[in-house]
Structure 1
Amino acid sequence: MKSKLSDHIFKKGKFITPWNNALGSLSKMQSWSQNRLPEYLWLGLILDKYGREKGLEKSYYILNKLYEINKKLTVPAFSLILKLDSEEQMKLYSYITEIMGKQVLAPLTLLYTYSDYQEFSRWFCEPDITPSDRQKSIDMVLKEGYFHQSELATDIRFLVSYFSLLTGRIHMPKSQLDLILEYPYLEHSNERMRIIRPTIRSMEMMLLHLEILDVQFLEDFWRRISKMSECKLFCINFPNNESDADKYIETLHRIFDYLSNCLISINPLDKKMLVLLGITVYSYKRLLEIVNHNLYNTIAARGAIRTVIENYIMMKYLMQNENTQENIWDKFQYYGIGLYKVVLARSRETQSDLSNNHIDYKYMELLVNEYIDEEYIDMDTSYFDKQNIREKAISVGEKELYGLFYDYDSSYEHGLWGAIRESSLIKCESPAHQFHCVPDYENKQNLKNVWPDCVKIMNKSIVLLNELYSIPEHLLKEVLNFDK
């Protein structure tokens, strides 16, 4: 079971997992799949060949023999076995071939060749098994054991724990030991395994302090196995079927046409209405870009919906505080113009050529000086009203909207790795490549469609406008029906 957010420890702006909080640095660089599975791949090959029941039985015999040969070993890591002296290796390999032949571990000679590992290669080289078949055997075990909670991975971890129990280097209460000893006699589907399997995994994790990370061995393993196969890429493609989007945009257009005419004909100097309509029309134009350019499943669409969310929260915040803050509608306008003024002031002081960039500084100057001379406009570079968007969202009762949507879309706006990974990298299915990713420069992968959420959040803004300006009932009903 995954830990809840409330289970994490919050320290200095960081949510720390319960496991990392308990283990501290001990948990670092101890990936099961990357750092420990290669060491125990030989046990996985035995289990894969003989099945769970017989494979565990044969593994017991071999681990007992390994302990008999060298009582100094703390864990049955393959790098340690390869470092045994020739006589010890000969005793172990001779015993293995007696009880199961050499074909089971023969795939490993693809990686551990005679030039570097003469003793092992001499005992287990099997010319009748092609390099391709040896690679397939390794890939299969890697794939099945890669996920640390898989059945094969848990079986391997049980054998590793068994060896450490055999050596007497770990101790536990009899009740817990009895529970663990049930493991090999129960099917993975047995209800009791829901308790025993996590105990096995935790027990194996207790052995980390006994292991010495052989970085060179691991680097050699992954370097060799990764070069033996091609990437197997797969893309996720989400559907894009928004036949009603044009109709929704058309309905919004009619609503804004009505509200704009109200502003012009009733009170053209109404600053509150101007600000609220300005915000919502800006959101509308972001949606219009999505529709006109078919951006539903794109990175750009996530930036658009983030804007729509922030605009909605800002609208609610301004309306909530208009009675307690004098001239809040003016303040909002001059806060934004002040930020334009900062850029304008910098442009006047730079030595760079600004004639060919995307900013029209002459037009910007006209905007900054539109109502009053810029010499009377201060520049506030902090958050508007000294509160960030999260604090504003909480104050207007939209904490969940912020936490579930805005934070996610912000990763796309800031180019953070979660967004990069989801949108711009394609997964490789090869365990030999550690299921790595490759750049999606061909643009084959898309993202989940944002349009349903765009409609839902835009309609929230429309409802706010309706509370103030009474949108005609047929138009309001029509636009809200798109959210069903």
Structure 2
Amino acid sequence: MINHSSLSDHDFNRGKFITPINKVLAGNMKDNPWFQLRLPEYLWLALILKYYGREDGLVKCNLLLRKVSEYKSLIELPKFSSILNLPDDEQKKLFIQFSEIIDNEAVAPLTAIFTYTDARCFATHFFTQISLEERIESINEVISKLSYHQTEFATDLRFLVVYYLLLVGQLHTSKENLELLMQYPTLTHSNETMRMIRPMIRAIEVGLPNDINNDYLNTFWEGVSRLSDCELFKIDIKPEHNGAEMYISKIKEFLQYYTELFTSTRPLDNRMLVILGIATYSYKRLLEVVEHNLYQTIVGRSVVRVLIENYIMLKYLLKNESSHKDIWTEYQYYGIGQYKLIVEKHRESGKDLSDSHVMYDYMDLLVNEYKDEEFIDMDTSYFNNDAIRIKAQKVDEKELYGLYYDYDSAFEHGLWGAIRESSLLKCNSPSHQYHCVPDIENEQKLKDIWCDCEKIMDKIMKVLEDEYGLPNYFKTEVTND
């Protein structure tokens, strides 16, 4: 089980949460990932472990590493690239010794990548009649088993790297640690002592000086990826919007009641107009979800975000009503001021944008609907100078903001997390480094938004009920449902 640091463990500095480990390392950690850079170098040993199994494989690798250690002046770590860089005569001599210890088939899969063109001595000595498909399948299987650096198989491989350092006299550690390391091949992974040895092995291996051979890595990854097909998969998420049409119908009934109440008894009530306007706008956004089947779409998340912002704004206006002369009119003219700013920018541009979806002439009429635009200021800050996050805190909706609004905002702003979740499919092929592929066929469906839409719309409707009441027959109808 992985122990993750909590949010409170992070340092918050200049808008950035800094992890505990990054605070300690302060940028000194080397970017030398196991999967991309180190695993390919030691894959030859992993193939032997797979071929013979753990017990015999560790014995065979021990014998091989002793042979390799004779070239310690040229091979600092048991990297396959270092072996391939030996002079041809030394490679031939070493490979003959290899064949006395292991079957050629054990490492033959690598001839699919390191061919006669790239590695003449190796390809000539270890080539077998095993099909190309079988060789690549064997490599993919091993890469998959090693993709996470803390698995038992990966730790066995990393032990061999550490053991090589012992053979060449480059690892200096305490007598106690040395004794533990030497026990490793003789113990099963279920042995309690392994709980102390495995972390030590991983810590030693990750801290080793590790020069990167880019030519070798490029040959390896290009070769194995070129010979493998993408294995795309998508998350199969079922829709969860049963009863959506019935729910939207009931919301419409409620809003019809409040609209009739407004038009018949309070047609000039600015307060009720704003509250009802925000609720109706929320309803229309919800209606779009239902009518256009947006439940599992990117744009659906925009709807959730808007519903949350509408609800927070409603609560904020009500909470601050007593401290303003007329917060409802202020709110209206704040929004109209935003429209005025857009219209002014259009005028100054001098461009004919009649084919745009923005109806600038109609917007101009709206700006001047109740007051000449010369008397309308344009406030570029968020209403009442409080960002939505601050408003959420002030109306006790911090959790709603943190758990939902931030997430949906990622889709609104096209942040990478949202792009990755919605628009890229994962390739399950280890030889492709588990890369992502654009979802141009629109196969990936997101989690249904409807449950959250209902919860937030219910909160908005509760504001209306608290302010203007609700006839008993409506309440009975809801209870019966």
Same fold (TM over 0.5): yes
Q: Are the equivalent residues in 1 in contact too, given 2:11–2:18 (CA < 8 A)?
A: yes
Alignment of 1:284-303 (within 5 A): 284-303=283-302
Q: Are the equivalent residues in 2 in contact too, given 1:71–1:167 (CA < 8 A)?
A: no
Residues 337 and 39 of structure 1: CA distance in aligned 2, closer, same or farther (over 3 Å): same
Q: Are the equivalent residues in 1 in contact too, given 2:35–2:149 (CA < 8 A)?
A: yes
Q: Are the equivalent residues in 1 in contact too, given 2:40–2:220 (CA < 8 A)?
A: yes
Deviation at 1:388, TM superposition (A): 1.4
- For 1:178-227, what per-residue CA distance to the aligned partner results, in whole angstroms no more than 9, with x for missing partners? 555554444445566555444433332211xx101112221221111111
Structure 2 unaligned segments of length 5 or more: list them. none
Number of aligned residue pairs: give it: 479
Deviation at 1:11, TM superposition (A): 3.2
Asked if 1:387 corresponds to 2:389, the answer is: no
Q: 1:84 aligns with which of 81, 86, 95?
A: 86
**Secondary structure, aligned partner of 1:212:** coil
Q: Distance in 1 between matches of 2:35 and 2:215?
A: 16
The residue aligned with 1:6 is: 8
Q: Are the equivalent residues in 2 in contact too, given 1:251–1:478 (CA < 8 A)?
A: no
**Secondary structure, aligned partner of 1:435:** coil
Deviation at 1:414, TM superposition (A): 0.9
Q: Distance in 2 between matches of 1:461 and 1:452?
A: 15
Alignment of 1:81-480 (within 5 A): 81-126=83-128, 128-189=129-190, 193=194, 196-207=197-208, 210-476=209-475
Q: Which moved more, 1:172-181 or 1:450-459?
A: 172-181
Deviation at 1:85, TM superposition (A): 2.8
Q: Distance in 2 between matches of 1:85 and 1:263?
A: 91
Q: Distance in 1 between matches of 2:245 and 2:355?
A: 35
- For 1:321-363, what per-residue CA distance to the aligned partner results, in whole angstroms no more than 9, with x for missing partners? 2222332222211111111111100111113221101011111
- For 1:271-308, what per-residue CA distance to the aligned partner results, in whole angstroms no more than 9, with x for missing partners? 22221211121111111111111111111111111111
Residues 201 and 91 of structure 1: CA distance in aligned 2, closer, same or farther (over 3 Å): same
Residues 478 and 26 of structure 1: CA distance in aligned 2, closer, same or farther (over 3 Å): farther
Deviation at 1:479, TM superposition (A): 5.2
Q: AA paired with 1:154? A: T
**Secondary structure, aligned partner of 2:207:** helix
Q: Which moved more, 1:219-228 or 1:58-67?
A: 58-67
Q: Distance in 2 between matches of 1:122 and 1:18?
A: 51
Identical counterparts, % of pairs:
51
Structure 1 unaligned segments of length 5 or more: list them. none
- For 1:251-274, what per-residue CA distance to the aligned partner results, in whole angstroms no more than 9, with x for missing partners? 111111122222223322222222
Q: Are the equivalent residues in 2 in contact too, given 1:157–1:201 (CA < 8 A)?
A: yes
**Secondary structure, aligned partner of 1:37:** helix
Q: AA paired with 2:296? A: N
Q: Are the equivalent residues in 1 in contact too, given 2:74–2:82 (CA < 8 A)?
A: no
Deviation at 1:13, TM superposition (A): 2.2
Residues 274 and 202 of structure 1: CA distance in aligned 2, closer, same or farther (over 3 Å): farther
Q: Are the equivalent residues in 1 in contact too, given 2:240–2:450 (CA < 8 A)?
A: no
- For 1:454-483, what per-residue CA distance to the aligned partner results, in whole angstroms no more than 9, with x for missing partners? 11111122222222222234535655888x
Q: Distance in 1 between matches of 2:175 and 2:318?
A: 65
**Secondary structure, aligned partner of 1:75:** coil
TM-score, normalised on structure 2? 0.93
Q: Distance in 2 between matches of 1:300 and 1:391?
A: 25
Deviation at 1:375, TM superposition (A): 0.7
Q: Are the equivalent residues in 2 in contact too, given 1:46–1:55 (CA < 8 A)?
A: yes
The residue aligned with 1:60 is: 62
Q: AA paired with 1:392? A: K
Q: Are the equivalent residues in 2 in contact too, given 1:312–1:460 (CA < 8 A)?
A: yes
Q: Distance in 2 between matches of 1:425 and 1:229?
A: 19
Q: Which moved more, 1:165-174 or 1:393-402?
A: 165-174
Deviation at 1:41, TM superposition (A): 1.0
Q: Distance in 2 between matches of 1:267 and 1:105?
A: 85
**Secondary structure, aligned partner of 1:230:** coil
Cα root mean square deviation, aligned: 2.3
Q: Distance in 1 between matches of 2:457 and 2:173?
A: 59
Q: Are the equivalent residues in 1 in contact too, given 2:107–2:126 (CA < 8 A)?
A: yes
Residues 61 and 21 of structure 1: CA distance in aligned 2, closer, same or farther (over 3 Å): farther
Residues 457 and 197 of structure 1: CA distance in aligned 2, closer, same or farther (over 3 Å): farther
- For 1:360-381, what per-residue CA distance to the aligned partner results, in whole angstroms no more than 9, with x for missing partners? 1111011111111111111111
